[in-house]
C-alpha cells in the first residue's frame, strides 16, 4: 500500500479543501437554480420528461459476467 513520505503542509491542505468546497458550492448553486426554474416553469434547457435519443451505454461481456456472479 502506498504511504505518503512526508506530512502535507497546512497551507496545501487549506488550498485543496477550499477548491473542493468551491466546486461543491457552485454545483449546489446550479442545482438550486435549476430547481427554481423547474418549479416556476421557466426552464428551457432541462425537461424531466425528455427521453434521450442516444442508446444507453452497455457493459461489455466481461463486466456482465462479473456482475452476474
58: in domain: no
Note down the domain range covering 34.
11-39
**Cell numbers that stand for 60 in this block:** 461489455
Cα(21)–Cα(13) distance, integer angstroms: 12
420528461: which residue's cell? 49
pLDDT tens per residue across span 10-63: 999 999 999 999 999 999 999 998 888 888 877 777 666 655 555 555 656 555
32: in domain: yes
Write down the pLDDT at residue 22: 94
Q: How many domains does the chain have?
A: 1
Say yes or no to pLDDT of 4 above 60: yes
Amino acid at each position: 500500500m502506498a504511504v505518503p513520505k512526508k506530512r502535507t503542509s497546512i497551507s496545501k491542505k487549506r488550498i485543496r479543501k477550499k477548491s473542493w468546497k468551491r466546486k461543491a458550492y457552485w454545483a449546489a448553486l446550479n442545482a438550486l437554480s435549476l430547481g427554481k426554474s423547474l418549479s416556476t416553469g421557466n426552464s428551457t434547457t432541462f425537461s424531466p420528461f425528455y427521453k434521450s435519443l442516444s442508446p444507453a451505454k452497455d457493459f461489455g461481456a466481461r463486466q456482465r459476467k462479473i456482475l452476474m456472479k
